[in-house]
């Protein structure tokens, strides 16, 4: 059976404002997120990354459901939010995703290296899978 006892999926259980918030976050994405989005779509099209995916009360910057991977792009303010980020990571991992984080500066100055690291992570996780 798909979903909960009433047949509702996790997405259907989200508050009505969640889709609006996701659209707003995509529309107002910063330059590092826009650059990484283009690079992921070009370099890893089979992973079908999505942007600003609602998972629980959080929005994942980039999510590949196929790879069970969430990529977060963190600005300078995240240095002050270590506890919040740790709680967010624990929640997302409990949902079955691995979370990797990159600083805005890394995305802006070493985009190829960031994409290579994501691709290597996916290749490592897929080893041994049929």
Domains recognised in the chain with CATH numbers:
17-126 (3.40.960.10)
pTM above the 0.85 mark? no
Give Cβ neighbours of residue 25 (< 8 Å, ≥ 6 apart). Answer: 51, 52, 59
> What pLDDT digit, counting tens, does each position of 14-55 carry?
677 777 888 888 898 999 999 999 999 999 999 999 999 998
Interatomic CA distance for residues 8 and 114, integer angstroms: 37
Is pLDDT above 90 for 73? yes
Q: How remote is the C-alpha of 63 from its chain's centroid?
A: 4
């Amino acid at each position: 059976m798909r979903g909960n006892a009433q047949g509702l999926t996790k997405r259907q259980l989200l508050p009505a404002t969640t889709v609006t918030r996701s659209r707003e976050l995509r529309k107002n994405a910063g330059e590092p997120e826009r650059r990484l989005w283009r690079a992921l779509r070009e370099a890893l099209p089979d992973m079908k990354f999505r942007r600003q995916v609602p998972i629980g009360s959080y929005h994942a910057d980039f999510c590949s459901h196929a790879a069970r991977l969430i990529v977060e792009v963190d600005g300078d303010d995240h240095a002050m939010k270590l506890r919040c980020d740790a709680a967010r990571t624990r929640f997302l991992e409990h949902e079955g995703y691995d979370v990797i984080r990159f600083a805005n500066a890394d995305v802006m100055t070493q985009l190829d290296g960031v994409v290579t690291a994501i691709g290597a992570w996916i290749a490592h996780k897929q080893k041994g899978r049929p």
